[in-house]
Amino acid sequence: MVKHLNAIPTKHAKLVKWVEEWAELCEPNGIYWCDGTNTEYYALCEEMVQSGLATRLNSKLRPDCVLFRSDPSDVARVEARTYIASEKQEDAGPTNNWIAPAELKATMRELYKGCMHGRTMYVIPYSMGPVGSNIAKIGVEITDSAYVVINMHVMTRVGNKVLEVLGDDGEFVPCIHSVGKPLENGESDNGIWPCAPMEKKYIAQFPETREIWSYGSGYGGNAILGKKCLALRIATVQARDEGWMAEHMLILKLTNPEGKVKYVTGAFPSACGKTNLAMLIPTIEGWKVETVGDDIAWMKFGKDGRLYAINPENGFFGVAPGTSMQSNKNAMLSCRQETIFTNCALRENGDIWWEGIDIDLEPGEKLIDWKGNVWEAGQVDADGKPVKAAHPNARFSARGRNCPAIAPNWEDPAGVPIDAFLFGGRRPSTLPLVYQSLSWEHGVMIGSSVGSEVTAAALDVKAGTVRRDPFAMLPFCGYHMADYFAHWLEIGKVAGAKLPKIFCVNWFRKTADGRWLWPGFGDNSRVLKWIFERCDGEGKAQETAIGYMPTEDAIDRTGLDSVSDADMKELLALDVEGWKKEVASIREHYAKFGDKMPKELLAQLDALEARLAKC
């Protein structure tokens, strides 16, 4: 029997048995039950600082902040090693990796055998969503990484309050995590956490039994299992079965100068400024944006037929590079204190630094880069390529409560009633700045065909190709994507539903010679204003083949000199030829889902094509 290092804080027999069985397999030194207190958080930070795994930052410049560096191979989610292990492959669908659950469990059990030698096994009871909210769900993560424990403290709600809600026999999602077997020569002594080689990493979701097994990575969504694994992959399956929605969406609160409030959620593929939009500072007089969440929304119908959303998370796991006081002041202030930094660079003064932080270094200043090497501005590698001080996917894990823009009611267990859904991607051409769907079904078609244009440099594809990322859920849907489309259509048929209006936005339009047509950032509030008005049945619009578009004078440009009348015309023009190509491209995208593709969406696409033919 593996010993418990502290008192077992629960009488939940099934939970205790499950923990002890995994301890038998993983063979840690002992089992420690996390209580979620600050004392625990800081003790673990201190332990990791002492062992050399973490660096404490300057307590004046970054109070209560620590910096971690990962193995250079363990820097992001690993989609190629992520599995939806449903009983039938068909249920995982064409967009997910699949291995039969029995086979995958046998493989992984071998890996877990003795994998925690010399380590503590932490048990983390956590709630996704305000503790006790009827929209929230409970998970319990077992991990051998103290870095994961402190990240779970920031990103979820951890501890005894959760066990109280769970009671003696409540339902929880069991989540197993290990960074992988210790190396032959013992634990890492070079200040990075251990991990397994790529071919031994597995991020596995078992949708039927609602389990998560993760092995071999200590990074982000691979290891902080409440986030993408539970709150999206497992939750999408629960939501389908229980009639609610688990979405990869930000949630923002929009208040007009008269004090009237609307709540908006939005799904965007990565690198489209989702966190920036969630924390936007409006450039129009009297308008206010407050943050409810920046990544995930869980929504259930209220008695009034409206969809109420909670943010299942407790913090922000934000991409650091590119974040500055200029691009996202609220994010910068959120990570001023009590923040965990990963793979950022370290300054001589004990502060962090990254590309695009907009803070000048001292002349000749030497940093420690994310690999632990000395770094200087202008440094190039053997091939003459610039060396980055921070990894491009370097992160800050910041507490929601430290965000100056956090909405006072962001933790309301009842959630907030949603007025509008936004979908968007990076589309330099064709898609206008904003348009509104003609109906729910038409809006579902828009969501199902979300995409971003990729550059030839980024991926092994032709420049100008659109990478489709339906509902920004491609790596996060726990079942067949076409069945998920069908679930969206089902939501539209719920009796008495008062559904949000659906909009498509595109901040990324360029002219033919490559100039940005729209300034983005705070000026996106101008588009939010039109959306707000449309939700009230106001806002000037015209019905076009693709949906309701703002008239050329409908978007408030007060004080915005950089967008001329001609630019506005271009931003809101209907590019019929471009749209005909778009229809063909969506048709190809839909073909990948075969027979499961809902007929209603194909009919929506046909109808769009027919409308365009008449233009």
Residue numbers at the binding site for ligand SAT (CB under 6 A):
77, 220-221, 227-228, 270, 317
> Nearer Cβ to ligand SAT, position 178 or 397?
397
User: What is the smallest separation between the CB atom of 350 and Mn ion, expressed in angstroms?
Assistant: 30
Q: Where in 282-362 does DSSP place strands (E)? A: 288-293, 297-301, 307-310, 315-319, 340-342, 345-346, 352-353
User: What is the smallest separation between the CB atom of 78 and ligand SAT, expressed in angstroms?
Assistant: 10
User: What is the smallest separation between the CB atom of 326 and ligand SAT, expressed in angstroms?
Assistant: 23
> Nearer Cβ to ligand SAT, position 218 or 550?
218
Report yes or no: 283 and 525 within 8 Å, Cβ to Cβ.
yes
> Which residues are the active-site residues?
272
User: What is the smallest separation between the CB atom of 396 and ligand SAT, expressed in angstroms?
Assistant: 12
User: What is the smallest separation between the CB atom of 523 and Mn ion, expressed in angstroms?
Assistant: 24
Q: Is 496 left (phi over 0), alpha (psi -120 to 50) or beta?
A: left
What track of x and - describes contact with Mn ion for positions 285 through 314 (by CB under 5 A)? ----------x-------------------
Closest-approach residue to Mn ion (CB): 295
Contacts of 46 (CB under 8 A, 6+ apart): none
Torsion over CA of 398, 293, 252 and 574, rounded to 10 degrees? 100
Buried b (16+ CB within 10 A) or exposed e, 558-597: eebeebeeebbebbbebebeebbebbebbeebbeebeeeb
> Nearer Cβ to Mn ion, position 219 or 590?
219
Which residues are bridge partners to 251 per DSSP? Answer: 265, 293
User: What is the smallest separation between the CB atom of 295 and Mn ion, expressed in angstroms?
Assistant: 4
Binding partner of 227, given ligand SAT, Mn ion, none, CB within 5-8 angstroms per partner class: ligand SAT
> Nearer Cβ to ligand SAT, position 220 or 478?
220
> Nearer Cβ to ligand SAT, position 65 or 225?
225
> Nearer Cβ to ligand SAT, position 228 or 388?
228
User: What is the smallest separation between the CB atom of 427 and Mn ion, expressed in angstroms?
Assistant: 19
Q: Is 189 left (phi over 0), alpha (psi -120 to 50) or beta?
A: alpha
**Which burial class, exposed, middle or buried, applies to 496 when counting CB atoms under 10 A from its CB (0-12, 13-18, 19+)?**
exposed
Binding partner of 317, given Mn ion, ligand SAT, none, CB within 5-8 angstroms per partner class: ligand SAT
Structure tokens at 369: 């880069």
Residues in the chain, how many?
A: 615
Binding partner of 221, given Mn ion, ligand SAT, none, CB within 5-8 angstroms per partner class: ligand SAT
Q: Where in 437-522 does DSSP place strands (E)? A: 451-453, 466-468, 501-505
> Nearer Cβ to Mn ion, position 36 or 425?
425
> Nearer Cβ to ligand SAT, position 320 or 597?
320
DSSP 186-229: BS-SSSB-----GGG-EEEEETTTTEEEEES--SHHHH-TIIII
| Angstrom distances, CA of residue 127 to CA of 14, 154, 158 | 18, 12, 7
SS3 assignment, position 264: strand
Q: What is the CA radius of gyration of the chain?
A: 24
User: What is the smallest separation between the CB atom of 109 and Mn ion, expressed in angstroms?
Assistant: 30
SS3 assignment, position 470: helix
Structure tokens at 319: 């991409």
For residues 76 and 222, what is the distance between their CA atoms, to the nearest angstrom? Answer: 8
What track of x and - describes contact with Mn ion for positions 242 through 281 (by CB under 5 A)? ----------------------------------------
Residue reference for tokens 């769009």 = 608
> Nearer Cβ to ligand SAT, position 178 or 525?
178
User: What is the smallest separation between the CB atom of 444 and ligand SAT, expressed in angstroms?
Assistant: 23
Q: Where in 390-468 does DSSP place strands (E)? A: 395-399, 416-417, 420-424, 434-436, 451-453, 466-468
In 10 A of CB 557, how many CB atoms? 16
φ, ψ (nearest 5 deg) of residue 432: -70, 170
Report yes or no: 413 and 433 within 8 Å, Cβ to Cβ.
no
Report yes or no: 313 and 136 within 8 Å, Cβ to Cβ.
no
Binding partner of 220, given ligand SAT, Mn ion, none, CB within 5-8 angstroms per partner class: ligand SAT
User: By the criterion CB under 5 A, which residues form the site for Mn ion?
Assistant: 295
